[in-house]
Amino acid sequence: MFRSTPHLVAQTLETRTPLIDFLGVSAVLGAVLALAAHLTLGTAAVPLLVLAGAVTVAGHALVNSYPHSVLGVCNAVTLTRAVMVAFLTGALVSPDVPVWVVFGVASVAFALDGVDGWMARRAGLVSDFGGRFDMETDAALGAVISLWLLTSGTTGPEILILGFMRYAFVAASFVWPALQAPLPQALRRKAICVVQIAALIILIFPLTPQAAVTPIIAIAALLLSWSFLVDILWLIRRAA
């Protein structure tokens, strides 16, 4: 006798894991990314390579540190933001992409920041994995936007301060192990991150006056530098 359909469905649900769901969502979003990149950028090679790398790293972290039995919409939202970052990376090597497309995709990726965290808290799916995934997506978004602003001639190399300060901090932590210690949650850090990404998106906006570019970069860079300095001094005192 064949097993009943309800039994098969129940068995399938029991064997599903967050990783399987993560890979399934990644495949669907990858197909959407491939189509969008082909139509807009002319090629999907770079965005798909970036997405494959992100899925590989995040999937490994998911298996090793995710404590829940379901993936949750919250992590799917973060993955969607990562897909948008992959698209923007493709725009770096596609000089003919309209600036309004870059602005639109970056704005949506920025607008979704915070949605994933809210969903995780609402669903009881808060995790270190989700927080780290969200943070790394934010960092990548800032880095890619800053590179686009530089390569497009919108700003000079000073814009890289906004895009790569976190990566400079991570690199310094390999030389100075005290910087590798975990930091406490801080509203100040989250607020400055919002200011940082918002400033970068304002600089993408085609109607932003050229006279406002330097002041925007200077203010955002000062705030970001101050935030990192506060964290560095806290880590130094903790290690002392």
Here the tokens at position 238 are 């903790």
pLDDT at residue 2, rounded to an integer: 37
Q: What is the mean pLDDT of the chain?
A: 91
Q: List, for residues 28-42, the tens digit of each pLDDT value.
A: 999 999 999 999 999
Residue (of 99, 103, 121) closest to 111 by Cα position: 103
pLDDT at residue 103, rounded to an integer: 97
pLDDT at residue 96, rounded to an integer: 85
pLDDT at residue 117, rounded to an integer: 87
Name the residue with higher pLDDT: 134 or 2: 134
Q: List, for residues 155-167, the tens digit of each pLDDT value.
A: 999 999 999 999 9
Domains with residue ranges and CATH for the chain: 14-239 (1.20.120)
pLDDT at residue 15, rounded to an integer: 54
Taking residues 179-186, report their average pLDDT.
89
pLDDT at residue 7, rounded to an integer: 44
Phi, psi at 184, each rounded to 5°: -70, 155
DSSP assignments along the chain, one per residue: -PPPHHHHHHHHHHH--HHHHHHHHHHHHHHHHHHHHHHHTS--HHHHHHHHHHHHHHHHHHHHH---SS-HHHHHHHHHHHHHHHHHHHHHT-TTS-HHHHHHHHHHHHHTTTHHHHHHHHHT---HHHHHHHHHHHHHHHHHHHHHHHHTTSS-GGGHHHHHHHHHHHHHHHHSGGGGSPPPP-HHHHHHHHHHHHHHHHHHSTTS-GGGHHHHHHHHHHHHHHHHHHHHHHHHHHH-
pLDDT at residue 239, rounded to an integer: 83
Can you give the pTM of this predicted structure? 0.90
Band the pLDDT of 1: cuts 50, 70, 90: very low
Here the tokens at position 221 are 């860079």
Taking residues 179-206, report their average pLDDT.
93
Q: List, for residues 223-238, the tens digit of each pLDDT value.
A: 999 999 999 999 999 8
Band the pLDDT of 95: cuts 50, 70, 90: confident
- Percent pLDDT > 70 in the chain is 94
pLDDT at residue 9, rounded to an integer: 37
pLDDT at residue 13, rounded to an integer: 43
Band the pLDDT of 16: cuts 50, 70, 90: confident
